[in-house]
Amino acid sequence: MAYSSSLGYPRIGANREWKKALEAFWSGKIEESELHAQLQDIRLNHLSKQRDKGIDLIPVNDFSYYDHVLDTAAMFGMIPDRFEYNGGPVPVSVYFAMARGNKDATACEMTKWFNTNYHYIVPELGGITPVLTENKPLAAYREAKDKLGIEGKPVIVGPLTFLKLSKGYAASETDAWLDRLLPLYAQVLKELEQEGVNWVQVDEPILVTKLSDTDVSRLQKIYQTLKAAAPGVRIMLQTYFEAVERYQEVTQLPVDGIGLDLVHGGAGNRQSIRDFGFPQDKVLGAGVIDGRGIWKASLREKLDLLNEIAATVPSERLVIQSSCSLLHVPVTVQAETKLQPELLGALAFADEKLEEIVLLSKAVQSGASVISAELEKSEAAVTALKRSGERNRTDIQQAVAAVSAEPAQREAAFAKRLDVQQERWQLPILPTTTIGSFPQSAEVRKARQLWRKGEWNAEQYTNFIREQIDLWIQLQEEIGLDVLVHGEFERTDMVEFFGEKLAGFAFTQNGWVQSYGSRCVKPPIIFGDVAWEKPMTVKETAYAQSKTKLPVKGMLTGPITIMNWSFVRDDISREQIAYQLAYALRQEVEALESAGIGMIQVDEPAVREGLPLKEQDQKGYLEWAVKAFRLTTCTVQNSTQIHTHMCYCEFHDMIDSIIDMDADVISIETSRSHGELIQSFEENTYPLGIGLGVYDIHSPRVPDVEEMTRMIDRALRVLDPKLFWINPDCGLKTRGIGETVASLRNMVEATRLAREKYALQV
């Protein structure tokens, strides 16, 4: 057999047609019928593309109008009351309101899909009675068959994964919910069976996370029920992103195939296959092509891997596939014309990965010789990049090895540094500051475009940026802030800005991936050894400092955030990449310090995003992540104050690592998790400088003084006023100028009142 299979194809379209169609509809530029027509074109195009590449098992129902978890919730009628849904197929207005909110109802929560940068809409179960509103996989299957003659493989989110990702119910109600949901899943499968569907892919990525005995029993019940309901449909139980837990029990479930990720968590899965074998009545979905990375595979290595597996699972029972859905990679390398040849030659996005899958399945069926030319080509491409100058900067490799062997420690301990810094800065108690960026108005964005297009020369652009800095230094002084920032007007994005200036990075023209809904990101590619070449931020920061007597904080993005928001090379470890970034950024920290900047903030909002899914790997990750931060910041003088900032995450379970970063001051976003965070400070004293955001910058609302006073009072119940800073909870770049100034004025007033109240305690 050795089928080739696709687990899911990017929705966004080669030219982001999908995004454009959605946004045109949302802004009222196209009618609903036009939206359906455009999305159908895109969907069918993706199906025929996969067929033309030679893929045997083509996924249907992987396409979505927003998100596949939201689709599943909508299919089961799980629509919270506030959206005023009245039964029947879910109208697009309701569907999009759940995703984006409308004037009457706030959107459902959105969160990260496992350890990827894709975000799904969190289903709210609450008091809802689930019903099957429409059999979506069936509709998708029929469409592919009627329009293109394709026998699609419907993809659905599995019951256990769906339940575990949902909220609004107590753990004790899990089984009751399962009992409500299972008949609906059974109904979906039964109808697929009646229609003559051969394979169904049931995605259960939750099986790579910790599973209790109860979960295993639930899985048995789920798959027994589904099998009994539709014995004629073959179920591929698909896992990904890590090694599957409870391998022996999972592979015994009454399904027809088990899909395993043989790239991420590949070592664990291979070990399980070796140790426990693989059932003879099942097909193995061998996820050998990396569905999340952007690199061309060494086909030879992949064939070796498949040969190793063939010792346990004969080729008649192998399906060759990617490690996960291709949703997480850009569409095609075809559009790239500007990358250097060694890099371009070594890239494989979704379309190219499908070709690799087809080649491997041919080789497994008919022997490696049938693809000998391609084997050589892939080897040559991988080798060329490996030999490129960018991957062989011995100067960098040696320096990083030396630096990372050092203890990465500030000269003095925090208490001593605090004294020295206090003497230097003479800050009042409860110092006020902001997180770095100020509003990127239309004017700022336009100026950058003019400059990028060459309509403005460097001098015009620099002058414009300086005017913005002048304006905001003046405003910050007038508002009465204690520690100022230059405003980050020269930056589009906190990762791209640095990537463009460091060696070892490349930028695609069209390498977009979906982040959430219609929002796409174009991550930089770290393909070579990372090197600092010249100061990146000194000019603007020093300029700002020259305009005021108050301290101006320098602003950098930290090594872990840069790494986690980029596509990275896979020939060295992430730890090594982090250290290279740390070494490069340390040189920027030193350059700022030499230019007289005495407070430097190294932002690490994405530290938690890189946390491995397996508990046993988390400690190791946090250790080297913290070390990378310390390497970046440890060489400055005691009087130089290192700040950091984190957001979008739950910190309570990593507070020890945060303390370990040894930043003089941290600012943390708290608006969305205030209670939990405060609680964690009740349990652990935080011994360094800390600012808990006293207002939420994600809303245009101007918070009043009393509201911020309450936030300050609450925080000071558990934190030391001597160490407490007052700031908004994130950068202000997305806010309007008027609301920003008004909010900051209120913040300074709340601080004045708090100082009166707490001065005696210091």
Q: Would you please indicate which residues are annotated as catalytic (active-site) residues?
A: 698
Which of 619, 663, 624, 671 lies closest to 644 in space, CA to CA?
A: 663
Annotated binding-site members for Zn(2+): 645, 647, 660, 669, 730
CB under 5 to 8 A by kind: which of ligand GLN, Zn ion, none does 161 bind? none
Annotated binding-site members for 5-methyltetrahydropteroyltri-L-glutamate: 16-19, 112, 117, 519-520, 565, 609
CB under 5 to 8 A by kind: which of Zn ion, ligand GLN, none does 437 bind? ligand GLN
Which CB atom, from 99 or from 647, has the smaller least distance to Zn ion? 647
CB under 5 to 8 A by kind: which of ligand GLN, Zn ion, none does 733 bind? ligand GLN
Q: Provide the b/e sequence for 698-735 (b: ≥16 CB within 10 Å).
A: eeeebbebebbbebbebbbebbebebbbbbbbbbbbeb
Which CB atom, from 531 or from 666, has the smaller least distance to ligand GLN? 666
Which CB atom, from 80 or from 554, has the smaller least distance to ligand GLN? 554
Answer whether 262's CB lies under 8 Å from 323's CB.
yes
Answer whether 159's CB lies under 8 Å from 189's CB.
no
Q: Which two tokens stand for residue 589?
A: 């920290």
Answer whether 248's CB lies under 8 Å from 275's CB.
no
CA–CA dist 77, 130 (Å, integer): 5
Chain residues that interact with Zn ion, rule: CB under 5 A: 605, 647, 730
* Residue spans of beta strands (DSSP E) within 143-220: 153-157, 199-203
Annotated binding-site members: 16-19, 112, 117, 435-437, 488, 519-520, 565, 603, 609, 645, 647, 660, 669, 730
CB under 5 to 8 A by kind: which of ligand GLN, Zn ion, none does 603 bind? ligand GLN
Name residues whose C-beta falls within 8 Å of residue 331's C-beta, 6 or more positions apart in sequence: 10, 12, 13, 14, 349, 350, 351, 510, 512
Which CB atom, from 244 or from 647, has the smaller least distance to ligand GLN? 647
CB under 5 to 8 A by kind: which of Zn ion, ligand GLN, none does 123 bind? none
Q: Which two tokens stand for residue 740?
A: 């920003």
Report CA dihedral (204, 209, 212, 216) to the nearest 10 degrees: 20
Query: Measured on CA atoms in the order 333, 334, 336, 337, is the torsion positive or negative?
Result: positive
Amino acid at 590: E
Residue 183: CB minimum distance to ligand GLN, A: 44
Q: Within 10 Å of residue 648's Cβ, how many Cβ atoms?
A: 14
Helix or strand holding residue 42 (H, E): helix 32-53
Residue 520: CB minimum distance to Zn ion, A: 21
Which CB atom, from 201 or from 633, has the smaller least distance to ligand GLN? 633
Residue 304: CB minimum distance to Zn ion, A: 44
Residue 346: CB minimum distance to Zn ion, A: 34
Residue 635: CB minimum distance to ligand GLN, A: 22
Residue 553: CB minimum distance to ligand GLN, A: 9
CB under 5 to 8 A by kind: which of Zn ion, ligand GLN, none does 255 bind? none
CA–CA dist 468, 482 (Å, integer): 19
Task: Return the bridge partners of 556, or none.
Answer: 602
Which CB atom, from 137 or from 605, has the smaller least distance to ligand GLN? 605
Which CB atom, from 97 or from 730, has the smaller least distance to Zn ion? 730
Residue 667: CB minimum distance to Zn ion, A: 8
The string of DSSP codes covering 567-586 is: EE-SSS-HHHHHHHHHHHHH
Residue 449: CB minimum distance to ligand GLN, A: 20
Q: Which two tokens stand for residue 644?
A: 């950091």
Q: Which residue has the tokens 């990617």?
A: 322
Report CA dihedral (188, 191, 192, 196) to the nearest 10 degrees: 170
What is residue 164's three-state secondary structure? helix
Which CB atom, from 59 or from 728, has the smaller least distance to Zn ion? 728
CB under 5 to 8 A by kind: which of ligand GLN, Zn ion, none does 124 bind? none
Name residues whose C-beta falls within 8 Å of residue 477's C-beta, 6 or more positions apart in sequence: 484, 548, 550
Annotated binding-site members for L-homocysteine: 435-437, 488, 603
Annotated binding-site members for L-methionine: 435-437, 488, 603
CB under 5 to 8 A by kind: which of ligand GLN, Zn ion, none does 555 bind? ligand GLN
Chain residues that interact with ligand GLN, rule: CB under 6 A: 435-437, 488, 494, 555, 603, 605, 645, 647, 730-731, 733
